[in-house]
């Protein structure tokens, strides 16, 4: 009976680590795509200005800082999730608690 609980516990531990790694990868993909889409929007705005559809102005500056800043923040969060998954697989008790807490927060604030 005890061995069955142990197998289920190890399976849950591996599953939670895999989910953390998947969330980290998706976070990095989102960060890269948000920076890429920023440059797509800049190109579209510059084309519209050149065509005379909108008034001249600068689309860069604050938007670039926000876009790139959030991408760096998302990469930091992804790196933290990867570290948490590794600690979780090694059997760290605080990492397991943090994994449950982070999983609950991510479920509550999903988009």
Q: Which residue has the tokens 């600068």?
A: 58
CA atoms within 13 A on the CB side of 85: 18
What is the C-alpha to C-alpha distance for residues 51 and 94, in angstroms, rounded to an integer?
Answer: 58
Q: Which residue has the tokens 């197998």?
A: 7
Q: What is the pLDDT of residue 9?
A: 74
Look up the pTM and report it: 0.72
Mean pLDDT of each 10-residue bin along the chain, 111 residues long: 67 85 91 88 78 65 79 91 89 84 80 62
Q: Where are the domains of the chain?
A: 2-108
What is the C-alpha to C-alpha distance for residues 30 and 20, in angstroms, rounded to an integer?
Answer: 15
């Amino acid at each position: 009976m005890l061995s069955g609980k142990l197998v289920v516990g190890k399976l849950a531990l591996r599953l939670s680590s895999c989910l953390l790694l998947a969330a980290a990868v998706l976070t990095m993909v989102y960060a890269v795509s948000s920076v890429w889409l920023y440059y797509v929007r800049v190109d579209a705005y510059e084309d519209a200005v050149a065509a005379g559809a909108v008034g001249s102005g600068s689309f860069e500056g604050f938007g670039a800082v926000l876009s790139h800043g959030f991408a760096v923040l998302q990469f930091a969060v992804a790196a933290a999730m990867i570290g948490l998954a590794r600690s979780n697989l090694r059997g760290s008790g605080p990492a397991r608690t943090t994994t449950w807490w982070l999983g609950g927060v991510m479920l509550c604030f999903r988009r």
